[in-house]
Amino acid sequence: MKFLNRIFESIEPQFLKEGKYAKYYPLFEGFYSLCFSPKDVTKSKVHVRDALDTKRFMTIVIISLLPCLLFGIFNTGYQAHLAAGRSLDLVPVLLTGLIEVLPLVIISYSVGLFWEFLSAVIRGHEINEGFLVTGMLYPLVLPSTIPLWQAAVGITFGVIVGKEVFGGSGRNFLNPALTARAFLFFSYPSYMSGDVWTSLLVSKDQLVDGFSGASALAIAAATQAPQSALVALQDAGYTLQNLVLGLVPGSIGETSVLCVALGALILLVTGVGSWRTMLGCVIGAVATVSLFQFFATDQTIPFLNLPLSWQLSMGSFAFAIVFMATDPVSSPSLNSSRFIYGILIGCLGMLIRVINPAYPEGWMLAILLMNVFAPLIDHVVYQRGLKRRVPNVI
């Protein structure tokens, strides 16, 4: 490491203002800060020394995402082998999962970082480590069978329109990964919703080369009265245990509630994730489901009567509230605001999921909509606190 540091220090003068490659200083600084802690310190006499800089903050988030990524690789291979009638042994399943998932991760980072570096060079600002998390989140919310060129187009839209046009990291009010997914959802809906392709393998009898099946959300949403949505899911082979474990078709990193819970634990113990936002989302979702069940009858939408445990285990609810809703840039900054923000996401997401037949999953739209209102929530909460404080001072 000392040798590498000496190399950086020896070439650094060429990237400073008077250097030959001064225009490309953001690239040099980005790679330097990725390998080592910044040398710059505050010039004032009073400051706090803290090792938790942006790089380490993002590193903790990436570590918390690893359980979802690793299980997503396994589940992708498992679903593919299961659909094609192939061996379910661990090694071949993992190899198939790696072949399907790894290219999406590579595309996400390579294309996204290209636009990050280009924007930094054009504008002359430093490269922020925030994309290290975005580049991991984005492939985890995609189905493994999406074409790679669509994944590249999506991350391009997410980085440019979702972040860079607003000034880059720290100034964007939309979550870039969700912005990219929303673009793909509305541009190529056949690849992002409805039936989920679970295999690109050729089956052992050489008769099929793919398999398509409705997701749990699609089955529940399509159930017609007086049939029970719970019975329809069980008849389709879904169980609550499989939904919690994640052994079901779906996006790469969103299926396993257990792995998401492990990631949430890491975020909460380290203080990186906001427990207020997570708790608010759960309260909002529970309250909305309870309201649905209170007013539901045998002749209403069967999805309304689905048990709470199934509602919280299906789809991307857990992944959305732990990793998407808690984004520190696009969510409110005040503690009270985060709680309100979470409750509204929980209510709105469950409402879109159950009531709107066009979208079998509502968390992406709910979080993006509340991203827009996050500054307003902060403003209202701040003004209310200010009005309570001023009379006491006088």
Residue-wise pLDDT for 147-188, tens only, equals 999 999 999 999 998 888 887 777 788 899 999 999 998 888
Q: How far is CA 11 from the centre of its chain?
A: 37
C-beta of residue 158 within 8 angstroms of C-beta of residue 180? yes
Query: pLDDT tens digits for 257-267?
Result: 999 999 999 99
Q: Which range is least confidently modeled, 78-87, 150-159, 314-323?
A: 78-87
Domain span including residue 332? 212-376
Residue 203, in any domain of the structure: no
pLDDT of residue 43: 63
- Nearest 10 degrees: CA dihedral of 21, 164, 30, 33? 140
* pLDDT value at 360 more than 50: yes
Residue 31, in any domain of the structure: yes
**Contact partners, residue 102, CB within 8 Å, separation at least 6:** 73
Tokens representing 208 are 């099929």
* pLDDT value at 371 more than 90: yes
Pick the residue with more confidence: 10 or 268? 268
Residue 48, in any domain of the structure: no
Half-sphere exposure of 50 (CA within 13 A, CB side): 9
User: Within this chain, do residues 221 and 301 fall inside the same structural domain, yes or no?
Assistant: yes
* pLDDT value at 391 more than 80: no
User: Within this chain, do residues 67 and 169 fall inside the same structural domain, yes or no?
Assistant: yes
Pick the residue with more confidence: 377 or 131? 377
User: Within this chain, do residues 99 and 59 fall inside the same structural domain, yes or no?
Assistant: yes
* pLDDT value at 194 more than 50: no
Pick the residue with more confidence: 216 or 35? 216
User: Within this chain, do residues 231 and 176 fall inside the same structural domain, yes or no?
Assistant: no
User: Within this chain, do residues 242 and 287 fall inside the same structural domain, yes or no?
Assistant: yes
pLDDT of residue 150: 94
**Contact partners, residue 8, CB within 8 Å, separation at least 6:** 28, 32, 35, 36
- Candidates 170, 172, 194, 182; CA nearest to 138 is 182
- Candidates 85, 173, 168, 166; CA nearest to 373 is 173
User: Within this chain, do residues 299 and 230 fall inside the same structural domain, yes or no?
Assistant: yes
Domain termination residue (choose one: 160, 192, 224)? 192
pLDDT of residue 203: 46
* pLDDT value at 71 more than 60: yes
User: Within this chain, do residues 318 and 170 fall inside the same structural domain, yes or no?
Assistant: no
C-beta of residue 78 within 8 angstroms of C-beta of residue 93? yes
Pick the residue with more confidence: 359 or 377? 377
Residue 290, in any domain of the structure: yes
Cα separation, 123 vs 132, in Å, equals: 20
User: Within this chain, do residues 133 and 15 fall inside the same structural domain, yes or no?
Assistant: no
DSSP string, 163-229: TGGGTSTTT--S-HHHHHHHHHHHHSHHHHSSEEEEE-SPPTTSS-S-EEEE-HHHHHHH--TTS-H
Pick the residue with more confidence: 163 or 210? 163
Residue 207, in any domain of the structure: no
User: Within this chain, do residues 164 and 83 fall inside the same structural domain, yes or no?
Assistant: yes
What's the pLDDT band for 209 if we cut at 50, 70, 90? Answer: very low
Query: pLDDT tens digits for 273-286?
Result: 899 999 999 999 99
Mean per-residue pLDDT, 217-233: 85
pLDDT of residue 212: 46
pLDDT of residue 142: 92
Residue 148, in any domain of the structure: yes
Q: Which residues pair with 197 in a beta bridge?
A: 212
pLDDT of residue 207: 42
pLDDT of residue 106: 95
* pLDDT value at 206 more than 50: no
Q: Which range is least confidently modeled, 111-120, 122-131, 243-252?
A: 122-131
pLDDT of residue 308: 93
Helix (H, G, I), strand (E, B) or coil at 5: helix
User: Within this chain, do residues 286 and 342 fall inside the same structural domain, yes or no?
Assistant: yes
The mean pLDDT of the chain is: 83
pTM over 0.75: yes
What's the pLDDT band for 236 if we cut at 50, 70, 90? Answer: confident
Query: pLDDT tens digits for 10-44?
Result: 777 676 776 766 666 666 666 666 666 656 666 66
Mean per-residue pLDDT, 332-345: 94
What burial letters (b/e) apply to 315-348, b meaning 16+ CB within 10 Å? bbbbbbbbbbbbbbbbbbebebbbbbbbbbbbbb
pLDDT of residue 237: 87
Q: Read off φ and ψ for residue 57, nearest 5 degrees.
A: -60, -50
| Domain total in the chain | 3
Residue 78, in any domain of the structure: yes
